[in-house]
Amino acid sequence: MRAFASRFACRAAGRSYPECVPGSQQHFLPQFHQRRFAIEPRNKKTRLWRLDMATGKPETVRPKDEAVIENYYNVELEDGTVLDHADQVLTRFEGDAAPVIESIVKDRTWRPNPPDILALLLYLVTLKTRTPRAREALRETDRVMNGMLSEAMVSDRARWRKALGDSYDSEEELEEARLQTLEELRSNKIIIDGGPAREVLMMVVSIEETARTLFEQIGVMCFRLPEDERDCLVASDNPVAHYDPTPKSPQAGVSYMSSPNSITQLAIDPRVALIFHQGAAGRWQEIEMDRGELEEANLLTYAWANQAIYGPSQHAVTNVRRQAKRNRSMLHQFRYKPPRIWVSRGEKPAHGRVAEFTSVYKGQTTTQTFYVAPGAEDSAVWPPDDKRSSH
């Protein structure tokens, strides 16, 4: 019965049963997306060219063997039960987006309706959150938040005394233990890790909310290569790339709306890339991509790749690597920047004033001065300009 239900669900999503059913080998870059950049896109047994970022070595690989990790989305309960709900959610979003992407690529005159755009955005958000790099960022963010919560609890003397007062012989020993724990939390000697199950939960819990926010605030530019263009777009194992020319600070992370000018890029085919941007909510634009835009799009993809880029030919992937070596300054400008949490210790910063904030990511601490905008609830939002910092 379960197999029949799975087959029915796959049929409804327009996908074949073996490809659709969740298993232990789970892809963070869907096979249907990989095949679009393969040598024979319509052939499910096709191969594609992979270029290793570390060595520069190109080779042909099978989509089913790429961007795959065993039990990547599965959560095992204490009784041994394995839950694959996250994989099912991602499979549904893939199934909804695949025919939309096919229509965009196949027919230049076809225009997506609002449900199509929402399906694209849900797919976009899942592509970003499901990669190993994104999960690493979620894990780091969770550690910081857990550390902050624990620090706040340990800083409360009354709460500490109530919880652990009976474990110590004197008030002095109790206070000494509290201060030592506080110092170890602040110096990251104590790290609180939520574990893989919490990572999976964080990965999927805000997908729909994020997609709907984007749906209300961004537009889409569909860049297509001219018919006579011989070179093509490539994909990567970290397919969603952001670029922000006006970041809030040089160390700030980059995302969908990290500043009013940030953009998000997703190559959906060797000849089509989608750019998601602010300022034109609900608008779809068709744009013919010129040679300079093609090179910049591939450089952005290359800059955000984690381990590999993919394309339909050896020339496609090696050409992008050559361009990257020739444009190191642009590659540095496009580079991946992880999300950060900025914390100001001591008294709460007053609105309309500047304050020093710190951010810790993978053990590296960065300090930045921010201007606390009037009306901000709990955080600083913009760095100070010369006028503000002079007060």
pTM metric for this prediction: 0.78
Q: Classify residue 221: in a domain, yes or no.
A: yes
In a domain, 347, yes or no: no
Lowest mean pLDDT among 40-44, 146-150, 190-194, 205-209: 190-194
Residue 61: name the closest of 311, 318, 315, 320 by CA: 311
Degrees, nearest 5: CA angle 250-279-352: 50
| Same-domain status, 363 and 293 | no
Whether 180 and 226 map to the same domain: the answer is: no
Q: Quick one: 73 and 206 in the same domain?
A: yes
250 and 373 inside one domain: no
Question: Which of 58-62, 359-363, 377-381, 386-390 has the lowest average pLDDT?
Answer: 386-390
Provide the pLDDT confidence category of residue 56 given band limits of 50, 70 and 90: very high
In-domain check, residue 263: yes
Q: Decide if pLDDT at 371 tops 70.
A: no
> Range of 382's domain?
354-389
Verify that 104 and 235 share a domain, yes or no.
yes
Question: Is 289 found in the same domain as 224?
Answer: yes
Q: Which residues, other chains included, contact 275 with Cβ-Cβ below 8 Å and sequence gap of 6+?
A: 220, 221, 223, 263, 264, 265
* Same domain, residue pair 173 and 229: no
At CA 287, angle to CA 283 and CA 291, rounded to 5?
A: 145
Q: Is residue 349 part of a domain?
A: no
Per-position DSSP letters for 76-127, written without gaps between them: E-TTS-EE-HHHHHHHHHHHHHHHHHHHHHH-TT----HHHHHHHHHHHHHH
Contact between 277 and 219 (Cβ < 8 Å):
yes
Confirm whether 253 is domain-assigned. Answer: yes
Q: Is 249 exposed, middle or buried (0-12, 13-18, 19+ CB in 10 A)?
A: middle
The residue-averaged pLDDT of 370-390 equals 46
Q: Under DSSP, is residue 335 helix (H, G, I), strand (E, B) or coil?
A: coil
Q: What is the pLDDT of residues 99-149, one digit of tens each?
A: 999 999 999 999 999 999 999 999 999 999 999 998 888 787 777 777 777
- How far is it, in rounded angstroms, from Cα 323 to Cα 356? 39
Residues 179 and 304 in one domain: no
Which residue is associated with the tokens 């290793």? 52
Cα 307 from chain centre: 15
What total number of domains does the chain contain?
Answer: 3
Question: Cβ(144)–Cβ(186) under 8 Å?
Answer: no
Q: How far apart are CA 217 and CA 135, in angstroms?
A: 25
Residue range 265-298, pLDDT digits in tens = 999 999 999 999 998 888 999 999 999 999 999 9
Higher pLDDT, residue 206 or 6: 206
* DSSP code of residue 259: S
Q: Which residue, among 237, 51, 50, 206, has the nearest Cα to 131 in the 3D structure?
A: 237
Query: Mean pLDDT across the stretch 355-379?
Result: 65
Same domain, 186 and 328: no
**Are the beta carbons of 311 and 270 closer than 8 angstroms?**
yes
Check whether residue 106 and residue 149 sit in a common domain.
no
